[in-house]
Amino acid sequence: MKIELNNNKPWKKWFAFTLFVVLVGYAAVAVSSKTTQSLDSSIISFQTVERGSLDIYTNAYGEFASAKERLLTAPAQGKVAEILVRPGTKITPETVILTLFNPKLEQEVNEAKGKLAQQEAQQQAYKYEQQNERLNYQGRIADIEAEIEKANLELSVNENLLSLGVASKIELKRAKLAVKQQSKRLEFEKEKYLQFVEMQGYQLTQRNITISQQISQVALLQKQLDDMEVKAGINGSLQTLEVELGQSVQLGQSIAKVGSDKELIARLRLPQQQADQIDIDAPVVINTQKGEVSAHITRIESVVTNGSVLAEAIIDGELTSNSRPALAVSAQVFVKHQEQTLYIPQFSGLRPQSKQAVFVRTTNNMLVQRDVTFGILTQEKLLILAGLNYGEEIVKSDMSQYKQFSEIELTH
């Protein structure tokens, strides 16, 4: 007798049951997504799509910086003897930041002053010597002139005697020759005197140049010595101090930096994709958390760093009370003017430069989910690139719990 046993396969039953559950769940979700939900319109707020002319601004971030900065360097080799001001302290042009000590420089100043005094004394002695020389020349010229007068007198006497027949012609000629010789001698001596005076002038000029150079050297060394008391030079605050007490410094070494705290500029980081659209002199509105400050762009760099471009803006308006160097600020920078633009006032939940599903109110009092593409945010207005038309209303209230519904019926 042949007995046949049925070979049951329980896994097939489990597979069929699981498939059935999945299909039922999918059908339930599909049906529920198409199901229309009712909602009281009185608990929902709406925002209307607007259209008009807009000034497009882009967001930027940065900080204030001193418009005037001054690097303080060591005027000479020395050692930091005293530090009087620390970073952050308010300063004036005459504020002494620190003092340096260099005994060799003091010695050089004294030696230069001594040399100058010696040169000035030598110049005075030279002037007296040359004055005596001029007097000697003038004395010789006076003697020659006296000799000429004497020769002329003898000539006159000889001429009178010759007319009386007393003197000989030879005596008259001798008298004339004496007058001529003395006249030539006088002419020659006067020429020597003029050349001597001219030479004196050149020598005096040379000595004056030497003294002027020494005066400049004394002034330079004295200024170096005076500058060993390092002063701020401008109104503002001490920003950095790069030396310590007792530290030795070399000529020209950086020791501190000061900057203005009332005259400021803004250093802003512009988005790379919009930096090319921004013009020089573009208006800027800076937010300092305690108010807004007007400014304008004066410089835009061409180097891109971490997706942004550095720009500088000059402050046009009055600064707020908290304005100071290194204060972090946000700003709105003008990009362009755009006509007939669709936009909507910004509210919570909307994200610039994104595509989002929002509920739109229809004419038959329904809410319909629709994908909307938003552009940039400018002055609290969000540009609409696609998905909405002028005059349409979108739901402003939180609708996160109704995301699964494609349509919602509004009731009163």
Burial 346-368 (b: 16+ CB within 10 A, else e): beeebeeeeeeebbbbeeeeebe
What sign does the CA torsion over 302, 305, 308, 311 have?
negative
- Provide the pLDDT for residue 162: 63
- Provide the pLDDT for residue 183: 78
Confidence check: pLDDT of 357 > 50:
yes
Confidence check: pLDDT of 10 > 60:
no
pLDDT tens, position by position, 246-277: 999 999 999 999 999 888 999 999 988 888 88
Instruction: At 102, list the tokens.
Output: 């260099």
Using alpha carbons, list the distances in angstroms from residue 242 to 87, 93, 412.
10, 19, 73
- Provide the pLDDT for residue 141: 78
Share of the chain above pLDDT 90, in %: 26
Q: Is 221 exposed, middle or buried (0-12, 13-18, 19+ CB in 10 A)?
A: buried
Q: Give residue 1's pLDDT band: very low, low, confident or very high (50, 70, 90).
A: very low
pLDDT tens, position by position, 199-242: 888 888 888 888 899 899 999 988 888 889 999 989 989 999 99
Interior angle at CA 262, CA 259 and CA 268, nearest 5: 75
- Provide the pLDDT for residue 31: 43
- Provide the pLDDT for residue 249: 92
Lowest mean pLDDT among 101-105, 168-172, 313-317, 375-379: 168-172
- Provide the pLDDT for residue 2: 42
Q: Give residue 315's pLDDT band: very low, low, confident or very high (50, 70, 90).
A: very high
Q: Give residue 295's pLDDT band: very low, low, confident or very high (50, 70, 90).
A: very high
- List, in order, residues 6 or more apart from 233 with CB less than 8 Å away: 70, 72, 93, 258
Give 165's DSSP letter: T
Q: Give residue 150's pLDDT band: very low, low, confident or very high (50, 70, 90).
A: confident
Confidence check: pLDDT of 172 > 70:
no
pLDDT tens, position by position, 75-111: 889 999 999 999 988 999 999 999 999 889 888 889 9
Give 365's DSSP letter: S
Q: List the one residue out of 411, 398, 396 whose CA is nearest residue 366.
A: 411
User: What CA–CA distance (Å, rounded) separates 402 from 382?
Assistant: 24
Q: Give residue 30's pLDDT band: very low, low, confident or very high (50, 70, 90).
A: very low
State the pTM of this model.
0.58
Start-to-end CA distance of the chain, whole Å, equals: 81
- Provide the pLDDT for residue 316: 92
Q: Give residue 17's pLDDT band: very low, low, confident or very high (50, 70, 90).
A: low
